[in-house]
Amino acid sequence: VITRRAFLGAAGAAAASAWARSSRAAVPAATDLTVDAQKLRSRLERLSTFGRPAGGAFADGVSRVAYSDADVQGREYVIGLMKAAGLEPRIDPAGNIFGRRGGTGGSLPPILFGSHIDSVPSGGNFDGDLGSLSALGVLETLAASGTVTRHPLEMVVWAHEEGVAFGRALACSRIVAGDIKPGDLDEVWNGMRRADAIRRIGGDPDRILEARRPKGSLHCYIELHIEQGGNLEKAGLQVGIVEGIVAIDKYDAIVTGFANHAGTTPMADRHDALLAAAQLAVAVHDVVTSEPGRQVGTVGHLEIAPNAPNVIPGSAKMSIELRDLSPEKLRRLGDAVRARARDIAASTRTTIELKPASLAPPASASSDVQDAIGRATEARRWSTMRLPSGAGHDAQMMAQIAPMGMIFVPSVGGVSHSPKELTHWDDCARGANVLLGTVLEMDRV
Q: Which residues of the chain form contacts with a copy of itself (CB under 8 A)?
A: 227-231, 234, 246, 248, 250, 259-267, 269, 272, 274-275, 277-279, 281-282, 285, 288-289, 294, 296-304, 307-313, 319, 321, 323, 389-392, 411, 414-418
What is the smallest separation between the CB atom of 289 and a copy of itself, expressed in angstroms? Answer: 5
Cα-Cα-Cα-Cα dihedral of 102, 106, 107, 113, to 10°?
A: -30
CB nearer to a copy of itself: give 298 or 367.
Answer: 298
Separation in Å, CA 17 to CA 22, 142, 385: 9, 22, 27
CB nearer to a copy of itself: give 220 or 320.
Answer: 320
CB nearer to a copy of itself: give 151 or 323.
Answer: 323
Strand pairing category for 111-116 and 311-312: unpaired
What is the smallest separation between the CB atom of 233 and a copy of itself, expressed in angstroms? Answer: 10
The answer for residues whose C-beta is within 8 angstroms of residue 162's C-beta and 6 or more apart is 65, 66, 116, 118, 119, 120, 123, 128, 168
Report the DSSP beta bridge partners of residue 221. 112, 404
Cis before residue 410, ω within 30 degrees of 0? no
Q: Residue 127: what residue type?
A: D
CB nearer to a copy of itself: give 183 or 263.
Answer: 263
What is the smallest separation between the CB atom of 27 and a copy of itself, expressed in angstroms? Answer: 34
Q: Are 262 and 309 in contact (CB under 8 A)?
A: yes
Report the DSSP beta bridge partners of residue 258. 271
Grouping H, G, I as helix, E, B as strand and the rest as coil, residue 84 is: helix
What is the smallest separation between the CB atom of 342 and a copy of itself, expressed in angstroms? Answer: 18
In 53-204, which ranges are E strands?
90-91, 97-101, 111-116, 153-158, 188-189, 192-193
CB nearer to a copy of itself: give 138 or 278.
Answer: 278
Kindly provide the b/e burial profile for residues 330-356, where b requires at least 16 CB atoms within 10 angstroms of the residue's own CB.
bebbbebbeebbeebbeebebbbebee
What is the smallest separation between the CB atom of 335 and a copy of itself, expressed in angstroms? Answer: 19
What is the smallest separation between the CB atom of 23 and a copy of itself, expressed in angstroms? Answer: 39
Q: Are 61 and 123 in contact (CB under 8 A)?
A: yes
CB nearer to a copy of itself: give 3 or 347.
Answer: 347
CB nearer to a copy of itself: give 99 or 123.
Answer: 123
What is the smallest separation between the CB atom of 248 and a copy of itself, expressed in angstroms? Answer: 7
What is the smallest separation between the CB atom of 212 and a copy of itself, expressed in angstroms? Answer: 27
Give the H or E element holding residue 261. strand 260-261
CA 373 to CA 158: how far, in whole Å? Answer: 22
CB nearer to a copy of itself: give 93 or 240.
Answer: 240
